[in-house]
Structure formats: structure tokens, C-alpha cells
Chain A
Amino acid sequence: MELLVASGIGVLTAAGVYLVMRRRTFPVVIGLSLLSYAVNLFLFATGRLAIDRPPIVGATANPVDPLPQALVLTAIVISFGMTALIVVLSLRGFLETGSDRVDISASDRDSSLGSPPPEGAS
């Protein structure tokens, strides 16, 4: 089981790292999700891998550590929110610029603060 979990985390991380380095937003978003799955599994495994030992004191003679599961829960909530944010961000970027490239072109960089925005716009 250790080998299976470890190689699963490894494959997820490797695939995530590869996708994060792609040039378009969609693979990057998928890559970030894969990375967060990998880290969630990893955190879960830090409480030691055991079968039939629920993390409840009194339910079994030798319960596993419940803390990593609480950490994983927090990490899942945060990564879920972040993924939603970055999906919206890449969609808005695609709709406003017409391109889903991650890099910033030279003409984008020159514009600096851009033209002065209208006063009092909401």
C-alpha cells in the first residue's frame, strides 16, 4: 500500500509540474489541481497508512492520528476556493484579450498604468 500511495502522489506531482509549465491557461489550471490533489494525499499519508482504524478515540483500541485529516480538510477547502478563483481569472483574461496565453506580451508590458480610468466608475 505504501508503494501504491507513494507512486500515486509522485505521478500526480510530476503530471502537475509538467502541466503548470505549459503556455496556455487551461493546462496550468489542471496542473494546479493535480498538484493540490497530490499534496492532499500526501498530508493524509502523514498520519500513517492504516486500515480499519478510524480516527475516533474509543471506537478502536488503537485509533490513527485525526489531525492530518483536519489539515487535509482545510487544505481542500482552500485549494477549492483558489481553483474557482483562477478559473474565473483565466476566463476573464480570455474574454478581455481574446487569447488564453499565460505569458505577457511586450505590448501589454508597455501600457503600464494604462489610460486614466473614468472618475467615479464602479
Chain B
Amino acid sequence: MSQWPILPTILPALTAALLVLVGRDDIRLQRVLSVAATLALVAVAVGLYVMARPGEPLAYRLGDWPAPFGIVVVADRLSTTMVLLASIVAFAVLLYAVNGWDARGRHFHALFQFQLLGINGAFLTGDLFNLFVFFEVMLIASYGLMLHGGGARRLKAGFQYVAVNLIGSVVFLFAVGLIYAVTGTLNLADLAVKVPQVAAGDQALLAAGAVLLLGVFVLKAALVPLHWWLPITYAAAPPPAAALFAVLTKVGAYAIVRVFTLVFSGENAPAVAVADSVLVPAALVTLAVGAVGTLASRNLLDLVSFAVVASMGTLLIPLGLFRSEALGGALYYLIHSTLIACALFLLVDLVAERRGRARDRLRPAPMRQRGLGAALFLVAAMGFVGLPPLSGFLGKLLILDATRDAALGATIWSVILATSLVLLAAFARAGSTLFWKHAQNEREPAQALRAAPVACFGGVVALIVGLSVFAGPVTAEMQAVAQQAGDRGLYVRAVLGSAVASRGE
């Protein structure tokens, strides 16, 4: 049994403990340890991705307990792709944060590593209850990161964020309880075998559990009407933390894919009927609400936060179809939207620091190095809105192509195309206010752009350019990932062994 699948959770956990114990008063030591550990995490994620590539999912049984009874960690192609994406985003954000943000409060690096522990754990776990536990780890760390630096507004928004997520956790536990009461197991592979065998009398209970679970996941993924926490939280969070939070919403999307293709799938599952009829319309409304929100925003951070809501809507449209052909394109868009959201949040910080007291408010103000700021904004905005030749365009194209013969096809096309126009208008308006209009009688702020933060932003943009240039191979990879994610028998065999899997077929 290979020990690799557990490494992406062990490494941040040990690093975080080390940071708290050894480096608590020495920011330099913290930076060195944290950057080294995150770089190692990227290496581990690449290794794990390559190992999972040939096809068989790697199942790691903690303590070698047999599968349905012990804790199991599963590295299949979908989860390793997500871990790789999360570790790359984390590395870029961390390199940005060591230029000053991490010193504005205590324990930034420890919280950052705990956040990675939660994210990677949620991607790799093969067990519903551990998914809950890793969600909690992820959220506890995100509360800390969100409050990093303090301030009255952050505290108010933080209270709402924590309260909303605590309610989400309670609903998650109700769902877990219902599913356990009916099936007697929480192991995802075991659930995939046992859910189709549930007696007719218990079907309603099981469906109730599944729908509650869907509710929790769409809360994390910020689907309308459960999206209000996102703009409030992200717009109050420190921008580098918000850049990492770009991965958090994707954990919700991943959980929907994982649970609803593996466990609650098949024609006669009542839960799937609910998910089918609700998810796509709600995603369309989410996209519209996000796009309108960008138009109404009064500062750049609010605008980017609503843009993230819009991108989650776009992402959940193909995911809501629950078809592996649509999933491939959706994964490409997922990678793109995570990277571009990360880039945009970093950009907000870059712009705000150059504008003195105006910060990121959308009003004319003097700015240092206006031209460079405008160029950076142009690239990021083009990438987000989906103008060719960047990957946003290709991602939306793949989604449009996948939804061509769906039931709501015409509506999906019109909403995606119309909101692209709205987003374009919002970003163009924001850009022209920020970079073209000159303010009178205000002193130019002293701070100039430093090279290192711009380089971090540039690195993320380079990844997006790479994603656009190598769109062909990446799309082929993602199709293969989606193919494997749709193969339930493969996952069940890898976790439980072939004997059990054939009994369940």
C-alpha cells in the first residue's frame, strides 16, 4: 500500500503544529517553513497526480483497517486534480502574502497550513463523516484567516460567516445521521453499494438526507439563495485570504460531484430527481445575481466577490447536468475560474495599495504607476469575462457546447451570453473609473509597486495563459478525469476490493 495519498493532509498538519510550537515569535522562520512546506506540497500533489493517472484509484486505509470499518483516503484522478490545483493556488497566494500581509496579525502561516489540511482532506477523504470533519477544519482555519488583521467590519462580517457555516454544519450532521440511520455506513464506496439496496419504506428518509446534504454543499458553493455570505465575507476578508478562499467554494462543487455521481446516482434515486430539477435553474439565477451584483458594486473587492458568485453559477450549470461529458468541460472551467479569482483578489490588493486613501473604491483617485496597474487589470478582466484568447473564453465555450442538447439548453445559452455582456460592462466601467479618470487636488500616494507581489500575480496569470495555450491537452486530461469520476464500479473496487463490488453490481 502506497503511503502517498495521506501525505497532502499529513504535511500541512505537521507544518502547522511546527509553526505554532517553534516559530511563533519569529516571522522569518515562519515564512521559510511555510513556503518550504507548501512547495513540498506542490511536489507531493504533482507526484500523486502522476501516480493516479494510469487509471486505478489509490485507496489508503489508515492503520490498515479493512475498508468499510476504518478510515479510508482515496486518491483518484478527480481528487488528485483538485489537490494539485489547491496546492498551486496556495503556493502563489503564500508567496504574495509573505510580502507583508502575513505580519499584520499573528499565526497567519499556521492558519494557512491548517486551511490546506482541511482543503486537501476534504478532496481526498472517502468517508462522509470525515468530509464533515475536514469541512470543519477548513472552516475553522478560514475564520482565522478572514479575521487576520482585525478591524470592526471584519469582525461583523466574520460573525455572520461563522454563524452561517455553523448552521450549515448542523444541517450536514442531520444529513449524515439520516443517511447512517438508513444504510448503516458512511464510507462513500460502501454507500454506493448499499444505497441502491435500501428498502422502499426507507427511501424517503434517504432522499431527505441526500437533499439536506445537497443543501450544505450548495451553501459552500454559494448557490442562490444561499449565496449572501460570500460577497459579505470575501469583501471583508484580507485580499490574500480571499484569494485562497477561491478554492473553498470549489470544495462545495467537488463534494456535489463526488457524492452525487458516486452515491446518489442512477435513474430511480429520488434525490437525483430533486438535484436535477433544482440545481441548473438555481445556477442560472446565481449567474444572473452575480452579474448584476458586479454592476452595483461600489468598490473593486465587492465587484470581484460578486464575480466569484457569477463564476460559481457558471460552474454549477454543467455540474447540475450530472453527465460525464459535461463534467470534463466543467473541470476545465473550474481550474480557470479558481486561478482567475485568485489573480483578481491579488490584483485588488495591488491596486488598493497604490491608491492612497481611496483604496479600492470605484471613484477617481490619484494612483502610482497607473499604466502598469491598468495593464494588469486588463489581462485579469479579459480572462474573467471570457474574451478570447484566454481560458475564460474556452471554458465558457466548452460549457456552452456541453449544454447544447440539455433540456434547458436555450435558456442556458442566453443567460451565459447575456451575463458575459453584463460582466464585461461592469469590468469595463470599473477599469475606466479606476485607471482613466483623474482626480483633482489630491496628492499622489507614495507607495510604488514592488516587484515581488507583481511577480506572484504574473505567475498566476502565466498559469492562465498556459491553460489557454495548452487547452487541447488539458481538456483531453479533464475528459479522462471526468470519465473516471463517472465510473462508480472502479471506485468501489479500489476501496472495498473486487468481491464486494461485484456483489453490489
CB distance from A11 to the nearest CB of B (A): 15
Query: 8 Å CB contacts to A: which residues of B43-65?
Result: none
Q: Are B156 and A104 in contact (CB under 8 A)?
A: yes
Interfacial residues of chain A within 94-122, with CB under 8 A of chain B in the complex: 96-97, 102, 104, 108-117, 119-122
Whether A28 and B103, one on each chain, are in contact in the complex, defined by CB atoms closer than 8 angstroms, is no
Q: Known pairs A97-B156, A121-B104; list 6 more (Cβ under 8 Å).
A: A25-B159, A46-B180, A67-B180, A75-B173, A92-B155, A116-B359
For residue A74, which residues in chain B have a CB less than 8 angstroms away from its CB?
Answer: 129, 133
Chain B contact surface mostly: helix
5 smallest CB-CB distances across A and B, nearest first, come from A46-B181, A93-B155, A112-B299, A39-B173, A46-B177
Asked if A6 is at the interface of the complex by the 8 Å CB criterion, the answer is: no
In angstroms, Cα B164 to Cα A102, docked, is: 12
Interface size class of A (residues with CB under 8 A): 35 or more
B148-190 vs A, CB cutoff 8 Å, 1 = contact: the mask equals 0101110111111011001101100110111011001000000
Report the bound CA distance from A104 to B104 in whole Å.
24
Is chain A's binding surface mostly helix, strand, loop or mixed?
Answer: helix
A residues lining the B interface (CB < 8 Å): 20, 25, 28, 32, 35-36, 38-39, 42-43, 45-46, 65, 67-68, 71, 74-75, 78-79, 81-82, 85-86, 89-90, 92-93, 96-97, 102, 104, 108-117, 119-122
A93→B159 contact, CB < 8 A: yes
B 87-106 contacts with A by CB, 8 A: 100, 103-106
Count of A-B residue pairs with CB < 8 Å: 124
> Whole-angstrom distance between the alpha carbons of A93 and B173 in the complex?
28
Which of B153, B158, B352 has the most chain A CB within a 10 Å cutoff? B153
Report the separation of the CA atoms of residues A82 and B162 in the bound assembly, to the nearest whole angstrom.
8
Q: Which of A39, A65, A104 contacts B153 (CB 8 A)?
A: A104
Complex alpha-carbon distance, A110 and B298, angstroms: 8
Query: Is B136 part of the binding interface, using a Cβ–Cβ cutoff of 8 Å?
Result: yes
CB-based contact B160/A102 at 8 Å:
yes
Q: Give Cα A67 to B184, complex, Å.
A: 9
Tell me if B235 counts as interface (CB < 8 A to partner A): yes
Q: Is the CB of A114 within 8 A of B155?
A: no
Neighbouring A residues of B413 by C-beta, 8 Å:
none
Q: Closest CB-CB distance, B43 to chain A, in whole Å?
A: 32
Quick one: which of B103, B157, B177, B232 has the most chain A CB within 10 A? B177
A114 to B166, CA, bound (A): 27
- The B226-271 residues at the A interface (CB cut-off 8 A) are 232, 235, 239
Cα A89 to Cα B164 in complex, Å, equals 14
Task: Give bound CA distance, A117 to B353, whole Å.
Answer: 10
- How far is A117 from B148 in the complex, measured between Cα atoms in Å? 12
B301 CB within 8 Å of chain A? yes
Q: Which of B125-162 contact A (CB under 8 A)?
A: 129, 133, 136, 140, 143, 147, 149, 151-153, 155-160, 162
